[in-house]
Homo-oligomer: A and B are copies of this chain.
């Protein structure tokens, strides 16, 4: 019973939340540790000296986190038991990672934080990974699809190599022409250069450029590039998507089924236990006494609405014993979606108030509100168009400010009327009202603050900046909030609302994938910091960087990508994002090859493979899976067929 207590305590909400917070904390340390991300900009030209945490600060937090993890691993080992423990690879890896981290932490403290390499920073994402069963499952799924992906990858490699050799042979003929010479010198100078050009063309990031010099010479050369893109980008890359989707198809379904199966098994076990307790005296009448059931139910952790529904059902059995089948059926309630019941509207005695309540409660009133919000948006747009050539300091905001005041007053009125019609409880039970009300109150506070600081608006009203925000910034903030408030119209359009709700459901289901993305980003960012920290040097400070006059178009320097570096964690994340989006990534390849060396291309290409090829396809696969599951009419008729135990 001691271990039972430990088990319950360990899987209690509070304990799990504490563990999650610890994981979040140790991951967030990367922003604070040397090199910290606390500068206004990441641009090497304008970056101020960064604040560095004193030695021991982050290490103390990290030490605490590691202590929590040690407690966690001890409890887990105890709960799993010796026999299971030796088979559990994840648990063994957890202990190893923890040991390495502690050793590295000790070394770090011993060297007074001057150590050149921190291995434990690379290992941190493991703590996130091992704590989520969904992420482990997803990893397994990815591992299963690796062989098929490797086959397409090999095909892709053959495709690339063949076209590289063909391209080099094609574009190194007798140089009769300036254009052909240019093609050769820019994109097909040697095999490696040609391979890189075509690899980038596979992502279409240098599409018209790479074909332009040759195509300008002769139309027929375009065929080479179009055939390459057709086979590579359209066929082979999409085949990768298909393979990943094939692996993940039914993934959601399967995981739903297994969790349902486990629950059914648990219910059946509970029935057997309760049965043996009551049925000891009368062996011929097998079943569960409703009173026993209710007693147990009181202590069980369940959503209150579900608990209420189950209790009501059980009470209807009176004194008769529940059979196994009935026992299972009672728990079907848990599978049902929760229907939020809105509290009843307040009743007003006066007929005038009653009709007012009817008017406000009618959905035409909502439409009116939407129309007013649209009007407000249009008025802001009109002023933006009118003022577009005027410098911000010369703008006369009198009319706009008066209009905004009027609109905010209307929003306030709408809020009050709705509270009057639905009651405060009823008003808050709608999420859309919550969103509306929150924004309206923030808007009200901002407007009142503006009026308090800058007085009533009048013509030619150009107050100086006072306090935290200038008048102009206040207005801008108000306007932005109004624009956001306009989102309330989405639920009014049925098809759009369905699409929007699909996305919201998707985001909830995507946590495991988000976790894997965090892990991948974290590892690559830390790696990038270790490899490339300080390689990008501000122009003028470096002999490598060309002077401003001679930079050629399309280079890192001309495009002023100075902020895309690996000098701290936040900057590294943004740089990785920009490479993941793939557009213009050849600029990064080129710049880091010049600044850091040719080997840096391996880092960027592997990041492209992991993020853009695997992760984006994974995302698409999950989106398709979720979407088809949701919109498929069959899935609603028999939501989880074949899982009824």
A391 touches B (CB below 8 Å): yes
In the complex, per-residue mask of A613-645: 1 if CB is within 8 Å of any chain B CB, else 0: 000100110011001100110000000000000
Q: Does A260 sit at the interface, judged by CB under 8 A?
A: no
With an 8 A cutoff between CB atoms, is A491 at the interface? no
Measured CB to CB, the closest approach of chain B to A152, in angstroms, equals 5
Q: Given that A241-B624, A472-B173, A628-B242 are contacting pairs, would A385 and B190 also be in contact in the complex, using a CB cutoff of 8 Å?
A: yes
Q: Per a CB cutoff under 8 Å, which of B172, B241, B583 touches A207? A: B583
Check A559 against B216 for contact (C-beta < 8 Å).
no
Q: Assess whether A472 is in contact with B174, with CB atoms less than 8 Å apart.
A: yes
Chain B CB within 8 A of A375 CB:
no
Q: CB distance B242 to A173 under 8 Å?
A: no
Q: Nearest chain-B residue to A486 (Cβ)?
A: B162
From residue 37 to 51 of chain A, which have CB atoms closer than 8 A to chain B?
37, 39-43, 45-46
Pairwise interchain contact B561-A212, C-beta atoms closer than 8 A: yes
Other-chain residue from B165, B207, B498, B624 in contact with A483 (beta carbon distance below 8 A): B165
Contact A229:B166 (CB < 8 A) given known A238-B619, A385-B191: no
Residues on the B chain within 8 Å of A158, using CB: 487, 490, 496
Counting contact residues on chain A (CB < 8 A from B), the size range is: 35 or more
A246 within 8 A of B: yes
Chain B residues, Cβ within 8 Å of A384:
165, 168-169, 172, 190-191
Question: CA of A229 to CA of B262 in the docked complex: distance in angstroms?
Answer: 39
Interface pair B553/A558, CB less than 8 Å apart: yes
Give the shortest distance, in Å, between A264 (CB) and chain B (any CB).
26
Please encode chain A, from 160 to 195, with 1 for each CB lying within 8 Å of some chain B CB and 0 for all others.
001001101110111100010000000001110000
Q: What's the Cα separation between A483 and B582 when bound, in Å? A: 30
Q: Given the known inter-chain contacts A218-B41, A553-B553, please indicate yes or no for A206 contacting B154, CB distance below 8 A.
A: no
Nearest 4 pairs between A and B by C-beta? A151-B495, A553-B553, A242-B627, A43-B216
**A residues at B contact (CB < 8 Å):** 37, 39-43, 45-46, 147-148, 150-152, 154-155, 158, 162, 165-166, 168-170, 172-175, 179, 189-191, 204-209, 212-213, 215-219, 222, 226, 229, 233-236, 238-239, 241-243, 245-246, 249, 377, 380-381, 384-385, 388, 391-393, 470, 472-473, 476, 479-480, 483-484, 486-487, 490, 493, 495-496, 498-500, 502-503, 506, 553-554, 558-564, 570-571, 574, 577-578, 581-584, 587, 616, 619-620, 623-624, 627-628, 631-632
13 A–B contacts, CB within 8 A, in A order = A39-B219, A158-B487, A158-B490, A158-B496, A173-B476, A191-B381, A205-B583, A206-B583, A216-B560, A235-B623, A242-B628, A245-B628, A583-B583
